[in-house]
Amino acid sequence: MALAQTEEIARRLTAAVPGLDVEIVKFDTTGDLDQTSKLLPHGGKGGAFVAQIRAAVLSGELQAAMHSLKDMPGNEDTPGLVIGATLSRDPPSDALVLRDGVTLEALRQSRGKGFKIGTNAVRRAAYARRLFPDVEVIHFRGAADTRVRKLDNGEKQRLPDGGAVGPADALIMARSGLDRVGLASRIAYEFTPAEMLPAAGQGIVAVECAAQDWQTRKILSSIDDPAAHACADAEREVLWVLNGHCNSPVAGFSTIAGDQMSLTASVLDLSGNTIIEASRTGSANRPRELGRAVGLELLGKGAAEIIERSRPR
């Protein structure tokens, strides 16, 4: 998936800047190699996948780095780096993938009783428990195609403690991720934002570069999508205000209509029993202001306490 996204950036750059020579450099991060452990020991999802690549941009070894915006920590900045471009947003929704023989109907009617849903995202797990209160959510990770293969083969997922869970009956995954690896046909159902609010930045590919590398910044600005960038700013401002961490179920999703932007964000506890939501509309030209207002409203409703309870120590 990461390679597909990077190739897309390269395609857009070559189209926008005639004569530009783009070389793609692949990184095997610790996070990629370790498919059993939870991601937290590496410093969280962002820590695992992002730190090594960022160091290469800061040292000048790379001019730019591709990130899924959703995976970039929203509660801390990397000094010296900026997001030089965000590509136009792919569909931000989460999707349900089922093994042969399972139907959405059966899941809904049973309230999930007797079924196992695989995901490693705390936000998807919390929303899954709200939608299907009796379901068992199991830890499931790996590349998108690997996860689907494990589902189809009825394979168990190994856990860091040596145990195993599964097999899964269903998975919840990003629709955009499934699209990018050619598995869109496996989408049995696409959750609406009302059912499962997307993660901040979901579906947006970001290109990061050195703040002082003006030449690269100029080149990247030619592939920047201002609407996606504004949504990214609004949604990430919520994370910033909440000091949200990678183990906290936080969602944030904005849309633009004309000169107005609407932003909804939520904070859940890990069980999905508690949910706090805030929704506002404001000027699309001031996305951070809107993000700040929504974030502060969530704090006013008690979001910080829920977030701190799930913070890894």
Binding site for ligand PBG (CB under 6 A): 68, 70-71, 144, 173-174, 176-177, 202-203
Helix axes 214-221, 2-16, angle to 10 degrees: 90
Strand 116-119, strand 170-174: pairing:
parallel
In the complex, minimum distance from the CB of residue 90 to ligand PBG, in angstroms, rounded to a whole number: 6
Q: Which is nearer to ligand PBG, 92 or 287 (CB)?
A: 92
Nearest-CA neighbor of 95 among 75, 73, 117? 117
In the complex, minimum distance from the CB of residue 309 to ligand PBG, in angstroms, rounded to a whole number: 23
What does the angle CA 77 – CA 82 – CA 84 come to, to the nearest 5 degrees?
150
In the complex, minimum distance from the CB of residue 140 to ligand PBG, in angstroms, rounded to a whole number: 10
Residue corresponding to tokens 């095997």: 28
CA distances to 29, 63, 74, 144, 298 from 47, rounded to whole Å, are: 10, 20, 12, 20, 26
In the complex, minimum distance from the CB of residue 302 to ligand PBG, in angstroms, rounded to a whole number: 27
Q: Which is nearer to ligand PBG, 172 or 306 (CB)?
A: 172
In the complex, minimum distance from the CB of residue 218 to ligand PBG, in angstroms, rounded to a whole number: 26
Q: Which is nearer to ligand PBG, 6 or 176 (CB)?
A: 176
Q: Cα 137 to the chain's mean position, in Å?
A: 19
d(CA 46, CA 50) in angstroms, rounded, equals 5
Q: Which is nearer to ligand PBG, 53 or 299 (CB)?
A: 53
d(CA 210, CA 83) in angstroms, rounded, equals 9
Q: What are residue 170's DSSP bridge partners?
A: 98, 117
Q: Which is nearer to ligand PBG, 71 or 237 (CB)?
A: 71
In the complex, minimum distance from the CB of residue 247 to ligand PBG, in angstroms, rounded to a whole number: 14
In the complex, minimum distance from the CB of residue 275 to ligand PBG, in angstroms, rounded to a whole number: 20
Task: Confirm if 277 and 266 have CB atoms less than 8 A apart.
Answer: yes
Dihedral angle at the C-alpha atoms of 75, 54, 232, 17, nearest 10 degrees? 170
Task: Confirm if 33 and 240 have CB atoms less than 8 A apart.
Answer: no
Residue corresponding to tokens 């790379």: 62
Residue corresponding to tokens 């969530």: 298
Q: Which is nearer to ligand PBG, 176 or 310 (CB)?
A: 176
d(CA 183, CA 176) in angstroms, rounded, equals 10
Q: Which is nearer to ligand PBG, 62 or 174 (CB)?
A: 174
Q: Which is nearer to ligand PBG, 219 or 232 (CB)?
A: 232
In the complex, minimum distance from the CB of residue 67 to ligand PBG, in angstroms, rounded to a whole number: 9
